[in-house]
Amino acid sequence: MVRDPLERFVSEYYFLRNGDSLISARSAQLSHGYKPNQLPEGWNDTLDECVRKKSELCYPNSGIMKLFCGFSPSCSVASRWTFNHAVFNLDRYTVVGLTDDFASTLEALEKLLPDLVAKDTAAIFRKRYNLSKYQTINRNDPEEDTKTILRTQMAHEHEFYNLVRQKFRKLKTELGIS
């Protein structure tokens, strides 16, 4: 399952600073290799301030495309080669869904992998789990200028994400999922 790269980055940026209702900021920082008493200068800047300052803290460095590419050292750098290899690997998956269309992703899994996914998983999940409790605390929506800069920096990631979205929409149509 993949998430919009910009949304993922903004969420991660603020999660490391503020945590969520289940994980404290301190725990988030430690799990990402930061020592809470030795945070880099500019740590408490908003994402907009960080981007304006061109700080290393706000440069998107990781993404889903690299995971689909694989573990070759060449996959660690966002490039056309990484994109092409990720697309090649994407075609090997039965289903790659979207976090922003979670219920449809579960429905597709139910239909295509019935031996692995129990019937009515999507309905059960909606009843039992409240995903809003995992939302990042004090997450600010970036200004449009900031979004434009970040989208430019993540151009390959967005291209890959849009391809995944397009393929998933086509799959939903084929499976009769609305």
According to DSSP, the residues that pair with 2 across neighbouring strands are 98
pLDDT digit string, tens, across residues 13-40? 888 888 877 778 888 788 878 887 888 8
Q: What is the pLDDT of residues 107-162, one digit of tens each?
A: 899 899 888 877 767 666 666 566 666 677 788 899 999 999 999 999 999 999 99
Here the CATH number for the domain that contains residue 148 is 3.40.50.300
Alpha helix segments (H runs only) across 113-154 = 121-128, 144-153
Q: Does residue 169 have a pLDDT over 90?
A: yes
Q: What digits encode the pLDDT tens for the residues 44-72?
A: 999 999 999 999 888 887 689 999 999 99
Count the domains in the chain.
Answer: 1
Residues whose CB is less than 8 angstroms from the CB of residue 88 and which lie 6 or more positions away in sequence, other chains included? none
pLDDT of residue 145: 97
Q: Which residues have a Cβ under 8 Å from the Cβ of 85 and sit 6 or more positions away?
A: 69, 70, 72, 74, 75
Query: Rg of the chain over CA atoms, in angstroms?
Result: 18
Contact 142, 9 (CB under 8 A): no
pLDDT given at position 108 = 93
| 73-90 confidence digits (pLDDT tens) | 999 888 899 999 999 999
How much is the average pLDDT of 87-95? 96
How far apart, in whole angstroms, are the C-alpha atoms of residue 64 and residue 154?
11
Q: Give the predicted TM-score (pTM) of the model.
A: 0.85
Q: What's the residue count for the chain?
A: 178
Domain that holds residue 155: 5-175
For 77, which DSSP code?
S
For residue 125, the model assigns a pLDDT of 67
